[in-house]
Amino acid sequence: MRLKGNFFVYQILFLISVLILMVGCQTQQEKTEMTEQQMLERGKLLVTVGDCDACHTPKNFGPNGPELDLTRRFSGRPEGMEVPPVDTSLLHDWAYLSHDLSSFVGPWGVSFPTNLTPDKETGIGTWQPEMFINAIRTGKHLGVPDGRPILPPMNTATLAQLTDEDLKAMFMYLKSLPAVKNKVPDPVPPGQIASVR
């Protein structure tokens, strides 16, 4: 008789444990699954605190100094803008950046902030979330193994510490913004810096 009583208690405890586990799993699942709106808000937060605008958004210069041109937000270096002359003899010791943070010169050559708007011809409009995530994780353009390196000052190693969900949220937010057609120049190899204009 005592054995039956203990068995019943064990069954009750087992069922309570299963219920607690199920509720815990459901609560954990609820925490990790965000709505589309929550993903967009998370992406906006990450893009803002990551200060992506500093390089990827063109600036207007006025009495208050440089101000973000939000009509061209995240469109990258303005098409047709010339790179000022660079003293290439200093490149082994120095890196240069333009006054508007739209071009960077160093031992890697010349790099330009890319167009992160959803324009299908000049931006990320044809990209899929996996491409964006792979680009950050691998440091390669388009996220493909034989893609060109994503050059300084873009710090993909730091961004790669984010979760896939965070990177997807950033991508979703960027894709939700207005598309801006703006062809950013390709990077320039170190040996061709003097010919850049």
Determine contact, residues 105/96, Cβ cutoff 8 Å: yes
Return the pLDDT at 6: 45
> Residue 179 falls within a domain, yes or no?
yes
**Of 145 and 197, the one with more pLDDT:** 145
Average pLDDT over residues 59-69: 91
Question: Do 177 and 118 touch, CB atoms closer than 8 A?
Answer: yes
Q: Is 7 part of any domain?
A: no
**CA 19 to chain centroid:** 40
For residue 110, the 8-state DSSP code is E
Q: Are the C-beta atoms of residues 47 and 159 closer than 8 Å to each other?
A: no
Sign of the C-alpha dihedral computed for residues 32, 34, 40 and 41 taken in this order: negative
Domain limits for position 180: 38-195
User: Is residue 145 situated within a structural domain?
Assistant: yes
Q: How far apart are CA 160 and CA 167, in angstroms?
A: 8
Average pLDDT score, the chain = 85
Assigned domain for 23 exists? no
Q: Confidence class of residue 7 from pLDDT cuts 50, 70 and 90?
A: very low
Task: Work out the burial of residue 15: count CB atoms within 10 Å of its CB; fewer than 13 is exposed, 13-18 middle, 19 or more buried.
Answer: exposed
The model's confidence at residue 88, banded by pLDDT at 50, 70 and 90, is confident
- Given a cut of 70, whether residue 152 has pLDDT beyond it is yes
Q: Is residue 22 part of a domain?
A: no
Question: What value does the CA radius of gyration of the chain take, rounded to a whole number of Å?
Answer: 25
Residue 21 is assigned to a structural domain of this protein: no
Q: Would 56 be classed as within a structural domain?
A: yes
113 domain residue, yes or no = yes
What pLDDT is recorded for position 34?
87
12 phi-psi bin (left φ>0, alpha ψ -120 to 50, beta other): alpha
Residues with Cβ within 8 Å of 197's Cβ and at least 6 positions away in sequence, in order, are 82, 83
Tell me the pLDDT tens digit for each residue of 22-46: 555 544 444 568 899 999 999 999 9
Q: How many domains does the chain have?
A: 1
Instruction: Please report the pLDDT score of residue 114 as a whole number.
Output: 96
Q: Which residue has the higher pLDDT, 192 or 136?
A: 136
